[in-house]
Chains A and B, each alone.
Chain A
Amino acid sequence: MNERHIQLVNGYCSENLSDEEFAELEQALRASPELRRLLLEYRSLESGLRANASMANSPSLAASANCKQIKVVRRMRRELLAMAAMIVALLSGFAYVWLNPSAAPLEEARDHGVAVLTRALDAQWGTTDVHAGDSLPPGRLTLNVGLAEIEFYSGASVILEGPVDLEIVSENAGILHRGKLRADVPTHAHGFTIASADVKLVDLGTSFGMDVGSGEGTHVQVFDGKVEVYEPEANTAERFGLEINKGESRLVESGAEFSVVKSESEAFLSPQEFDQRIQSRLDAGLENWAKMKGRLIDDPRLVALYDFERNPVQPRRLLNLSEHQVPELDGSVIGAKWSEGRWAGNGALDFKGPGDRVRIRVSETYESVTLATWVRVDGFDNYFNSLLLSEGRKRLGGVHWQLLNDGQIQFAVQGLPNLMRKASKVKFEMQPADFGRWMHLAAVYDGEQSRVRHYRNGELIAEVVLEQCVPIAIGNAQIGNWNTQGEGSKRIRSFNGRFDDFVILGAALSESEIRELFQNSRL
């Protein structure tokens, strides 16, 4: 065993060997038991260091890992598969939740994030698609077009203007490979570091802008407080940075030598301007939705339209806006409380208690039906979580539209025993960040084509082909809850969350119509 061999083992551990070097290592391993032992000891080290690092990143999870896993197992008597999947999820530390009957999913989820995407406007991502509310793990984030705001867990927040390529490194550091960002750094995040090819910038509690162009250096501009800039290779611990103060703009280049020169100031989007842009987008969205509502009301296929705005004269009525102004289509609000919808200042009903519900009656019978709603799921308290359920258990044509806490959505119609049991359920995944986030759900029952289609945020998620079709007779029904009308057990199916807008049409909307409905009712 010589220095060369040790070097090869190191290369192997860093996955940094050429094919020739690897062959050389293999040959040496064959011949030397000591070298094999060294390699194995190094790998054991690597494994231990990695395990320790991931523990250090999530101390609370690691500390109680044992009892948590056992608790999960106790709750999961039913399904072998679910159990196995849970073990896998725990082992691999997925930030993805496997929703499981009678298990409380969220407390088992792990967060590998170091930052949150708080807001995005017209964002087109070059990397994986991310949405407002998602937590972001370390890695590269490419925003091709649009605006985005990211809050690092340290407290520093940055506004990105596409096109931009930012690598998130840790809770308090990033690398700007290309493009423009503005950072606002509170005192908690003192030491927030953004590096580029030209410069390493350490913030001292302030706000600054940074722009990395193609080849002509990095522009740094300080709006408030001061920052320190270092050569990219410098060790910041030595603290010999060059200060840039409030109101100053500098161009930093590190070609043959490191240079910092005065430069023209540039325009960076401030948090206030971002607020304004978002606000004007919200206003436009609200206007779109008002127009869309008008088109729906004119649509002869419309049965009922609830926009969940509180009527001060009859606060316990959920008013139907459709032309069929039959009183029975107005809902009775029971328990649920008026609250804020997906636009600030707009109404919604909040369902929390097991008794909260809205009762409606749809007397007509339809060959096909479309149900669409904006909901915010705050949690799954029960196995079944009602969106719209016809009352009673066995009435022909009754509708069951609900979310199951094992990650399925169901649209079933009474009178189709086979369908009722299995084929009516399709997969519906909820990521941790999906709870508390508004989403658009639609189910289209097409009696002519014999199929049910499920949509989420305007996109088709699944199609179920039916063996037999019966006409839909919603009858007495409940939004956000269920009543068996005395037939059998009263298993609680209450929904935990909010409803804002619910549309019922007596026909099957096409895929493009669902997309249009989503596009014109979203934020």
Chain B
Amino acid sequence: MTDQKHSNSDQEAFVQLFTQYERNVRAYVASLLPNWEGVDEVMQASSLVMWRKFDQFDANRPDSSFLSWAFIIARYEVLKYRRKRATDRLVFSEDVFELLATESEKICSGQSAREEALRRCVKKLEPVQQELVNTVYSEGVSIKAAATLAGRTPTGVYKALARVRKNLQRCVRLTVSEEHLRELA
């Protein structure tokens, strides 16, 4: 194999597909691992493997989609990461992992629609909740720091986050299913 293994059009095709589906794959990996450093590491490793094996992906075969191919690779990389970090906490045992992985593919296939819905749902939150979401989910802000800034205790922040998640999950589920119904109509 040479450096010329991938042609330029291959490279463009890959980057286009990857950019299109990166968020789906990321959500999928996040559904199988609790910590975000792990998610980032697995995403890096997966993207490399996908790039190296891109010539094995055949877009013209009727039963193949980039996303299901990417899910297979990401799943394998999550397993590899788990083996490497056998001592990590909050790692699901194999049977639960398998159940989640299979069901996660369905949910994450619709990640774009979910994130679109999510953006609208966040705007419907109360201002205080929106503020909390902005603080906590910006990179690098710990719950403790967020608590100090918001003038709350860490426990208070955890509770507030639980309420935010509940609201958002309901709102997203509703929005996505409404859209689904509209498409069917």
Residues in A lying within 8 Å of B, measured CB to CB:
6-7, 10-17, 19, 22, 26, 29-30, 33, 36-54, 56-57, 65-66, 69-70, 73-74, 76-80, 83-84, 87-88, 91-92, 112, 137-139, 167, 169-170, 173, 175, 193, 195, 200, 230-236
B-side contacts of A234, CB under 8 Å: 151
A36 to B107, CA, bound (A): 11
Q: Are A78 and B3 in contact (CB under 8 A)?
A: yes
Contact among A48, A52, A77, A236 with B151 in the assembled complex (CB-CB below 8 Å): A236
A-side contacts of B140, CB under 8 Å: 112, 137-139
A-side contacts of B134, CB under 8 Å: 53, 56
B-side contacts of A50, CB under 8 Å: 36, 137, 139
Of all chain A residues, the one with the shortest Cβ separation from B27 is A47
Contact among A6, A73, A175 with B15 in the assembled complex (CB-CB below 8 Å): A73
Of all chain B residues, the one with the shortest Cβ separation from A23 is B93
Is the C-beta of B169 less than 8 angstroms from some C-beta in chain A?
A: yes
Given A45-B168, A87-B48, A88-B47, answer yes or no on A52-B137 (Cβ-Cβ < 8 Å).
yes
Would you mind naming 24 contact pairs between A and B with Cβ atoms under 8 Å apart?
Answer: A6-B166, A13-B165, A15-B34, A19-B89, A22-B89, A40-B31, A42-B169, A44-B108, A45-B118, A47-B23, A47-B31, A48-B23, A51-B115, A52-B118, A52-B119, A52-B122, A66-B16, A74-B8, A77-B8, A92-B40, A138-B140, A193-B149, A232-B148, A233-B152
Is the C-beta of B141 less than 8 angstroms from some C-beta in chain A?
A: yes
Q: Are A43 and B90 in contact (CB under 8 A)?
A: no
A42 to B165, CA, bound (A): 7
Q: Are B107 and A57 in contact (CB under 8 A)?
A: no
A36 to B103, CA, bound (A): 8
B-side contacts of A91, CB under 8 Å: 22, 43-44, 47
Residues in B lying within 8 Å of A, measured CB to CB:
3, 5-6, 8, 11-12, 15-16, 18-19, 22-23, 26-27, 30-31, 34-36, 39-40, 43-44, 47-48, 51-52, 89-90, 92-93, 95-96, 99-100, 103-104, 107-108, 111, 114-115, 118-119, 122, 133-134, 137-141, 143, 145, 148-153, 158, 161-162, 165-166, 168-169, 172-173
A284 to B91, CA, bound (A): 57
A48 to B172, CA, bound (A): 11
Question: In terms of DSSP, what is the predominant structure of the interface of chain A?
Answer: helix
B-side contacts of A40, CB under 8 Å: 31, 100, 103-104, 107-108
Q: Are A44 and B47 in contact (CB under 8 A)?
A: no
Given A29-B100, A52-B119, A112-B140, answer yes or no on A45-B40 (Cβ-Cβ < 8 Å).
no
Q: Are B48 and A88 in contact (CB under 8 A)?
A: yes
A-side contacts of B26, CB under 8 Å: 47, 51
Q: Are B149 and A30 in contact (CB under 8 A)?
A: no
Q: What's the least CB distance linking A68 to chain B, in Å?
A: 10
A138 to B141, CA, bound (A): 7
Contact among B43, B161, B162 with A92 in the assembled complex (CB-CB below 8 Å): B43
Given A52-B118, A73-B12, answer yes or no on A175-B148 (Cβ-Cβ < 8 Å).
yes
Q: What's the least CB distance linking A49 to chain B, in Å?
A: 4
A79 to B6, CA, bound (A): 10
A65 to B103, CA, bound (A): 30
A-side contacts of B133, CB under 8 Å: 49, 53
Q: What's the least CB distance linking B124 to chain A, in Å?
A: 14
| 10 closest residue pairs by CB, A with B | A138-B140, A53-B137, A47-B27, A43-B31, A47-B30, A48-B115, A10-B162, A49-B137, A73-B11, A48-B118
Q: Are A232 and B151 in contact (CB under 8 A)?
A: yes
A48 to B52, CA, bound (A): 27
Q: Are B93 and A45 in contact (CB under 8 A)?
A: no
Q: Are B141 and A169 in contact (CB under 8 A)?
A: yes
Q: Are A30 and B99 in contact (CB under 8 A)?
A: yes
Of all chain A residues, the one with the shortest Cβ separation from B170 is A41
Q: Are B27 and A43 in contact (CB under 8 A)?
A: yes
Q: What's the least CB distance linking A242 to chain B, in Å?
A: 15
B-side contacts of A51, CB under 8 Å: 23, 26, 115
A26 to B138, CA, bound (A): 29
Contact among B30, B90, B151 with A15 in the assembled complex (CB-CB below 8 Å): B90
Q: Are A41 and B169 in contact (CB under 8 A)?
A: yes
Q: Are B47 and A37 in contact (CB under 8 A)?
A: no
Q: Are B15 and A70 in contact (CB under 8 A)?
A: yes
Given A48-B111, A91-B43, answer yes or no on A10-B161 (Cβ-Cβ < 8 Å).
yes
A-side contacts of B6, CB under 8 Å: 80, 83
B-side contacts of A26, CB under 8 Å: 92-93, 96
Q: Are B172 and A41 in contact (CB under 8 A)?
A: yes
Q: Are A37 and B107 in contact (CB under 8 A)?
A: yes
B-side contacts of A195, CB under 8 Å: 148-149
Given A15-B34, A47-B26, answer yes or no on A22-B90 (Cβ-Cβ < 8 Å).
yes
Q: Are A173 and B149 in contact (CB under 8 A)?
A: yes
